[in-house]
Structure 1
Amino acid sequence: MTTARRNAVRQVLAGCQGFRSAQDIYADLRADGSKIGLTTVYRALQALSESGEVDVLRTDDGEAVYRACRTEEHHHHLVCRGCGRTVEVAGPAVERWADAVGAEHGFVEITHTVEVFGTCGECAARRS
């Protein structure tokens, strides 16, 4: 894949605050006149995810959504179900727990993914 196409996907994500689906990113690119295909968008997102430039998580309904990674440190996400606002959070207790559970069962090279979903204060206030 050309770097130009990957850069186009990177630029769309850089302009977004929350997580976006591949279809949303594709629609944004097409609206701006790009001839990029949806398959190319998926490939770019996969490459950017593997390089650590893009965070990916699964929504409650199983859809993969993407966001430009804001830090190079290992982190987790606190995501509002209402507006999609996302906060990157460290989780030292989660790290210790994952390592302990792995060691307890004889596993090594432990990795994990933890995403926390809730409702932010602004969305909760709007519902009241």
Structure 2
Amino acid sequence: MSEETTIVRNTKQRAAVRELLADCEGFHSAQDLHAILRDRGERVGLTTVYRTLQGLADAGEIDVMRPPGGEHLYRRCSSGHHHHLVCRSCGRTVEVEGPAVESWAGRIADRHGFVDVSHTMEIFGTCRECATGEKPGS
């Protein structure tokens, strides 16, 4: 097996991680997910949580966000390539498409002779509700 190949066996513990991700809103750290599983009575080790998340990320089944100065955060994602707007205050996340970014990334890669290019992008700011002190939905 090559270093680039990650195989995630379907075990009861890994199924519990997948189910939790399907139930959760927003992004969560591996440690947060582990704590929730423990609170639910699931016997899943933290290492298993990390390995499962890595396998799901490698398979494109979950989004991974790398906030400045923080640990990686994970959530179930929609299909297709997308980017995120993330509120620094409440963590609210909105999936957005960026056709201009895709075109730019392709041009830059071509210009420098790169192939098989991928990228991620998170835009951090403050959502309207946090900026104005409103509660969501009001």
TM value normalised by structure 2: 0.86
Q: Equivalent of 1:36, from 18, 25, 44?
A: 44
1:98 is aligned to 105
Are 2:13 and 2:43, in contact at CA under 8 Å, matched by a contact in 1?
no
How far apart, in 1, do the equivalents of 2:27 and 2:108 lie? Answer: 30
**Cα shift at 1:83:** 0.9
Secondary structure (helix, strand or coil) at the match of 2:115 reads coil
Match in the other structure for 1:45: 53
Cα distance in 1, alignment partners of residues 120 and 83 from structure 2: 7
Question: Does the CA contact (< 8 Å) of 1:17 and 1:85 recur in 2?
Answer: no
Deviations 1:33-81 (A, max 9, x none): 1111000000110111111111001011141000011x21110111111
Q: Which has the higher helix share?
A: 1
Distance 1:12 1:123 in 2: 27
Aligned to 1:117: 124
- 1:63 and 1:3 map into 2 onto residues whose CA distance is 26
TM-score, reference length from structure 1 = 0.92
Alignment of 1:80-95 (within 5 A): 80-95=87-102
Query: How far apart are 1:4 and its partner, in Å?
Result: 2.0
Counting only pairs closer than 5 Å after superposition, residues 3-42 of structure 1 correspond to structure 2 as 3-42=11-50
Given the alignment, which residue of 107, 114, 119 partners 1:107? 114
Structure 1 distance, partners of 2:32, 2:132, is 28
* Unpaired stretches in structure 2, ≥5 consecutive residues: 1-8
2:72 to 64, 67, 80: 64
Percentage identity across paired residues of the two chains: 59
- Length, aligned pairs only: 126
> Does structure 2 retain, via aligned residues, the 8 Å contact 1:5–1:44?
no
Q: Tell me the distance in 2 between the aligned counterparts of 1:95 and 1:2.
A: 34
Q: Distance in 2 between matches of 1:34 and 1:106?
A: 48
C-alpha separation in 2, matches of 1:90 and 1:5: 33
The SS at the match of 1:33 is coil
Moved over 6 A (4+): none
Between the aligned partners of 1:26 and 1:8, the Cα distance in structure 2 is: 10
